[in-house]
A = this chain, B = another copy of it.
Amino acid sequence: MKDRQALPALLQGRTVIVGLGLMGASLAKGIKDLSAAAFVAGLDRKEQPIFRGLEEKVLDQGAVLSTQEDSVRSLIQEATLIILSMYPDGILDFVSRYRETFSEGTVLMDICGLKGFFLEEAQRILPEGVEFVGTHPMAGKEKSGYEYGNGEIFLGANFVITPTLHNRRETLDQVRAMARELGFGRIREVEPREHDEVIAYTSHMPHALAAALVNSWLGTEDVISFAGGSFRDVTRVADINSALWAQLFCYNSQALSGELRRFSEILDELAQMVEQKDRPQIEAFLTQAAERKERWNREGDRYDDGSRTR
């Protein structure tokens, strides 16, 4: 077993994870996989995931938000790292509520899939000496909840850090080292607004398209008998956490609606080619996609081969 001192700097103190859903539980489990000596406490609105975490020794301590406020505040106060693993709605609430409780030197890190709308605001609310780092671990599952949490979902996945002017280089490097240790693959730093624009394309669009394709079925035939791998893959993420994603879509309203409009224009162009049975144009359209996709696959593979740490 690894000593606590062998852990990345950010995990050597007291880590508190707020929100023990899929991602929070996966982080807790991933950290404990690195070393059972790591200190990990959990906060949640529900008792159930905390009990499970304590039973499974994924958590060393835990407290229920609202009903066990004394324990909550003392865990927060003593924390060196607080990972906010909750819906976007909850992040600013949490930061405001406990702004007087955080100790100087504590690092807050969120893992929300959107950044632009709250990073500056969070830092503005926090007292000096409490740093807030925005991150976006690009891992997940169709399922939500503590029981589906698993540190292995991070292996080789992308990890994006969105620094602001309030962040210190040292802290960003520590976050990077922690992500590397947890098994993430490509780790990038990018400006928060730019992150949100790219994410509208790489994350929100696939979810929107999957949901729209599922919703667009009007027939009476039993779809499942006619579904091949392409249908299963494209619709996989339609089994979505709709409350969470409705929030994300709204917070990223401008970038996402732009992508949606542009996509539907491209689809209209394709529909016209198909209507006119314009085979050369359709083939050119598909060839462009195939070449680009193949290049992306190669870039992804090259990376995957070299950089996993476990």
* Chain A residues within CB distance 8 Å of chain B: 138-140, 157-158, 160, 186, 188, 190, 194-195, 197-199, 201-203, 205-219, 221-243, 245-247, 249-250, 253, 256-257, 259-264, 266-268, 270-272, 274-275, 277-280, 282-283, 285-290, 292-294, 296-297, 299-300, 303
Contacts and interface: CB of A to CB of B under 8 A. Distances in A.
A227 B267 contact: no
A216 B274 contact: no
B283 A138 contact: no
A253 B274 CA distance: 5
A176 to B, nearest CB: 13
B250 A289 contact: no
Contacts of A209: 209, 213, 234, 267
Contacts of A214: 288-289, 292-293, 296
A140 to B, nearest CB: 7
How many copies altogether?
Answer: 2
B274 A249 contact: yes
Given A224-B186, A227-B158, A247-B279, A217 B239 contact: no
Contact of A277 (B229, B236, B253, B300): B253
A179 to B, nearest CB: 13
A289 B212 CA distance: 7
Contacts of A297: 239
Query: Which 4 interchain pairs have the tightest Cβ spacing?
Result: A242-B286, A211-B289, A260-B271, A246-B283
Given A199-B226, A210-B234, A238-B289, 18 more contacts: A138-B227, A158-B227, A160-B225, A201-B226, A209-B209, A233-B236, A238-B290, A239-B290, A239-B297, A242-B286, A245-B286, A249-B282, A250-B277, A250-B279, A260-B274, A261-B268, A261-B271, A264-B267
Nearest to A229: B140
A55 to B, nearest CB: 29
Contacts of A296: 214, 223-224, 227, 235
A26 to B, nearest CB: 13
A282 B246 contact: yes
Contacts of A218: 262
Nearest to A235: B293
27 contacts: A138-B226, A158-B224, A188-B225, A201-B216, A201-B217, A202-B227, A203-B226, A203-B230, A205-B234, A206-B213, A206-B234, A206-B235, A208-B267, A211-B286, A211-B290, A213-B263, A214-B293, A215-B285, A240-B289, A247-B279, A250-B282, A256-B274, A257-B274, A260-B268, A260-B274, A261-B268, A264-B264
